[in-house]
Amino acid sequence: MMQPYFRTLVGAVALTILVPLGADGQTTPWGDPDLQGTYTNKTITPLERPDTLGDKEFLTAEEVASEEQSRLDRNLELLLAPPQRTQAGGNVGGYNNFWLDGGTRPTGRTSLISDPPNGRMPARTGSAASRKTAHDASFPVDGPFDSWEDLELNDRCLVWSAGPPMLPSAYNNNFIIMQTPGQVVIYIEMIHDFRVIPLDGGDHISTGIRQWHGDPRGHWDGDTLVVETKNVRKTEASAAAVGGDPVLLRVANGSDGDTITVTERFTRMDENTVHYEFTIDDPTHWTSAWTGEFPFVALPSDEMLYEYACHEGNYSMTNILKGERERELAKASTSQP
């Protein structure tokens, strides 16, 4: 069972924070703090705090156990449930529960967002709200789908973005951290992406050069790896419910300026846990900067990362277009005299 990252006192909201290993903990042969390992960041804690929880920031130990048991019970119920036909015209979803792997345990917080204190993303600026409206109008979820070009690149399994920030998704939440004396490399299971982070103290590249994962620059702040990323290539943000981008960042949010900075902090807390924190600052998109945090937990030795073969198995694209053709035929038949 995954170790709880946050442990709350029984019946109280006091929080016990794990202490970093420090200089006497794990280090690389060249003396840097050792973050290397194979991890997962899956959790059932939502990005934003549900409105029903108000100002409640942490769960009690009993609530953590209860939420985990509820998810385990739900998974078992869905696994044993007999097959049933989905009602036409309803929310057919993308997958049944068998294919999803978002974990079963909450972090102990009521949201991944730790700042603002309400656990929710700050309001969008007026220009950002207009960009989102234009995006949603360009890719309406109910079509029409005349061709594959009416669906987003994410829906077509052609491109994705698994960071920064490195948020949990519905599946493919595993990754490997590797280190050399001058770089940290993160291999991400989702769309088999790599992030190569130099530690040479160099400046960011010209703002005119955008990169898919941006231009990261890392340095050590004591036992913490701090990564600042700029120059992230502009890309669309999928509204897909599974694996989509709930932050609608992946940046520059439809604007031309290089306005986004993502700052990440990686700190090894014990041999099985790396604390991950991110802060997003983009004054053209959010009315204030905001921060989130959650644990990366070491995978058991018998678990591994798998090939990401989304496009090769993307039957949903065929089915969506077939469904649109059937809808056109039905509409045509009802309009005949």
Would you give per-residue pLDDT tens digits along the chain (337 residues)? 233 333 332 232 333 334 445 444 689 999 999 999 999 999 999 999 999 999 999 999 999 999 999 999 999 998 898 877 766 555 666 668 888 888 999 999 999 999 999 999 999 888 878 877 877 777 787 888 998 888 877 778 877 767 788 988 888 899 999 999 999 999 999 888 889 999 999 999 887 777 778 899 999 999 999 999 988 764 444 433 333 444 554 443 444 556 788 999 999 999 999 999 999 998 888 899 999 999 999 998 888 888 888 877 788 888 889 989 998 999 888 877 6
For residue 302, the model assigns a pLDDT of 82
pTM for the structure as a whole: 0.84
For residue 212, the model assigns a pLDDT of 75
For residue 9, the model assigns a pLDDT of 26
Specify whether the backbone of 190 is left (phi greater than 0), alpha (psi in -120 to 50) or beta.
beta
For residue 274, the model assigns a pLDDT of 97
The separation between CA 214 and the C-alpha centre of its own chain, rounded to angstroms, equals 16
Tokens 């730790």, residue located: 114
Q: Which residues of 296-314 are buried (b: 16+ CB within 10 A; e: fewer)?
A: bbbbeeeeebeebebeeee
Q: How far apart are CA 47 and CA 51, in angstroms?
A: 12
Q: How far apart are CA 116 and CA 288, in angstroms?
A: 9
The separation between CA 215 and the C-alpha centre of its own chain, rounded to angstroms, equals 19
* Residue closest to 250 by CA, chosen among 239, 230, 263, 236: 236
Residue 178 near residue 195, CB atoms below 8 Å: no
Name the amino acid, one letter, at 113. I
Q: Given 3-state DSSP classes, what are the helix, strand and coil percentages for the chain, each rounded to the nearest 5?
A: 20, 25, 55
Phi, psi of 220, deg, nearest 5: -95, 130
For residue 70, the model assigns a pLDDT of 97
